[in-house]
């Protein structure tokens, strides 16, 4: 960071000094010494005023006028009488130079001359060019930095999409080349950890199936001799098998998210279909407030999994009633599922979505589940660039609300 600040300071200071020096040089040689017809004419007028003292000298080359032949303003007459060269302009905007000879009566007029170009125009042009050059120099300095920042963006997007083949292109001219190098090392480690995690989950899950199958076979053989002990062991084996299935499902989600395909479908119909399934299995009162014809661009299969998990969750932990609502507000869709169970403590609102997290009290292992249902919900909703939050329900239990973009 110190290197970045020092290089930026040196670039800005050096650029300002060079631009100022170059501007002063060009200004002195282009603007100040530039030909100016009116300025030179004034110099000639001063010379003539100093050397021509009588009307006779003037008549040899110029025709003199008397001061009263022109209607002067009081200020103009005063300037002429004081020996100043007066500049006036005709109807065409051309300049006329007027002055009096030493007799304070004979008037000499030179012109017409083209008016001098205002120096302010050139000054503004110089300022614009100076700022433009400074901007170009800063762009040259910022380009390697911008390329490195774009690499940060590409790498993070690749990791977010599950692409673990992290490309590495660093610029030695960038002021943050060391930071870029460390970032790529970190990104490569993250990619390796993600790869190892997938391989580990898949390998462990599949390799455990073989000994579990042998255990189930052995327990079946012992069923007739020790039925009480075998029954408990079979429950443990069944639990392990269910856990492996859940882990495999969660592991598949990691791969599925990389190839997510979306299309527009009717979310209202999908939610009603899931509610029909729940009503056939649940004895709880289910009230609904579902807007019709709500369309969403998403993956119908995975959103059905989200709705199924949340509805089963409400049925499992609720007491007597479940409320389900679906509304569309501007460019967002809101799905809300409330139950009248014991609810979730506020300090556990975030942890409830973490994998393998099971809450105490009513939400525990005895009711089934391995802490992956809500983690799957959170992951699928995040794939669709949505949000899933939990709060206290108006019914007294838990309230899960999903927000999806259209």
pLDDT at 365: 47
pLDDT at 370: 65
Q: Which residues contact 295 (CB under 8 A, 6 or more apart)?
A: 264, 265, 266, 267, 406
Strands across the sheet with 65-66, in order?
Answer: 65-66, 106-113, 95-100, 86-89
Residue 124 CA from chain centroid, whole number: 35
pLDDT at 332: 93
Q: What is the largest CA-CA distance in the chain?
A: 151
Rounded Cα–Cα distance for residues 311 and 318 (Å):
10
- Domains recognised in the chain with CATH numbers: 2-119 (no CATH), 186-258 (1.10.287.130), 262-405 (3.30.565.10)
* Token representation of residue 306: 């989200």
pLDDT at 2: 65
Residue 74, phi then psi, degrees to nearest 5: -60, -40
Residue whose structure tokens are 């009116």: 38
Measured torsion, CA atoms of residues 164, 404, 288, 285, in degrees rounded to the nearest 10? 30
Q: What is the pTM (predicted TM-score) of this model?
A: 0.52
SS3 string, 361-372, reads CCCCHHHCCCCC
pLDDT at 363: 43
pLDDT at 267: 94
* Token representation of residue 217: 């076979």
Give me the residues paired with residue 97 across strands: 87, 110
Cα distances from 65 to residues 43, 55, 62, 112, 179, in angstroms, run: 21, 9, 10, 16, 82
Q: Output the tens digit of pLDDT for each of the chain's 406 residues.
A: 566 667 777 777 887 887 777 777 766 665 544 445 556 566 666 666 666 666 665 554 455 678 888 888 889 889 888 888 888 877 777 778 888 877 777 888 877 776 555 555 666 777 788 788 888 888 887 777 777 777 777 777 766 666 666 666 656 656 666 777 777 777 777 777 777 777 776 676 667 777 777 787 777 777 777 777 777 777 778 777 777 777 777 766 766 665 678 899 999 999 999 999 998 888 889 999 999 999 999 999 889 999 999 999 899 888 899 999 999 998 899 999 999 988 888 888 888 888 777 665 444 444 556 677 888 899 899 888 899 999 999 999 999 999 999 8
pLDDT at 279: 86
pLDDT at 96: 80
């Amino acid at each position: 960071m110190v290197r970045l600040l020092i290089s930026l300071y040196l670039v800005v200071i050096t650029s300002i000094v060079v631009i100022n020096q170059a501007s002063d040089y060009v200004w002195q040689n282009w603007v100040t010494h530039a030909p100016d017809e009116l300025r030179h004419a004034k110099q000639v007028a001063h010379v003539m005023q100093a050397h021509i003292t009588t009307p006779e000298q003037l008549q040899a080359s110029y025709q003199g006028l008397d001061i009263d032949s022109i209607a002067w303003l009081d200020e103009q007459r005063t300037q002429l009488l004081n020996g100043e060269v007066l500049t006036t302009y005709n109807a065409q905007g051309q300049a006329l130079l007027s002055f009096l000879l030493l007799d304070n009566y004979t008037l000499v007029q030179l012109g017409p001359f083209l008016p001098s170009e205002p120096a302010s125009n050139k000054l503004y042009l110089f300022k614009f060019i100076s700022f433009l050059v400074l901007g170009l120099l800063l762009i040259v300095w910022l380009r390697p930095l911008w390329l490195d920042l774009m690499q940060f963006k590409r790498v993070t997007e690749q990791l977010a999409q599950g692409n673990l083949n992290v490309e590495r292109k660093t610029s030695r001219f960038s002021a943050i080349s060391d930071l870029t190098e460390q970032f790529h090392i970190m990104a490569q480690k993250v990619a390796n950890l993600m790869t190892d995690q997938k391989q580990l989950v898949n390998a462990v899950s599949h390799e455990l199936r073989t000994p579990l199958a042998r255990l189930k076979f052995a327990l079946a053989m012992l069923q007739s001799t020790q039925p009480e002990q075998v029954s408990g062991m079979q429950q443990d084996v069944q639990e392990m098998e269910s856990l492996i299935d859940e882990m495999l499902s969660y592991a598949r989600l990691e791969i599925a998210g990389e190839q997510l395909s979306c299309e527009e479908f009717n979310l209202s119909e999908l939610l009603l279909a899931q509610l029909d399934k729940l009503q056939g299995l649940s004895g709880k009162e289910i009230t609904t407030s579902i807007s019709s014809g709500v369309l969403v661009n998403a993956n119908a299969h995975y959103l059905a999994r989200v709705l199924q998990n949340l509805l089963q969750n409400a049925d499992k932990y609720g007491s007597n009633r479940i409320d389900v609502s679906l509304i569309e507000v501007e460019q967002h869709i809101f799905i809300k599922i409330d139950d009248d169970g014991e609810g979730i403590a506020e300090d556990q609102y975030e942890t409830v979505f973490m994998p393998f997290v099971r809450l105490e009290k009513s939400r525990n292992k005895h009711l089934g589940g391995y802490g992956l249902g809500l983690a799957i919900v959170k992951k699928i909703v995040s794939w669709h660039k949505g949000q899933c939050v939990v709060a206290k329900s108006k019914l007294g239990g838990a309230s899960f609300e999903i927000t999806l973009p259209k």
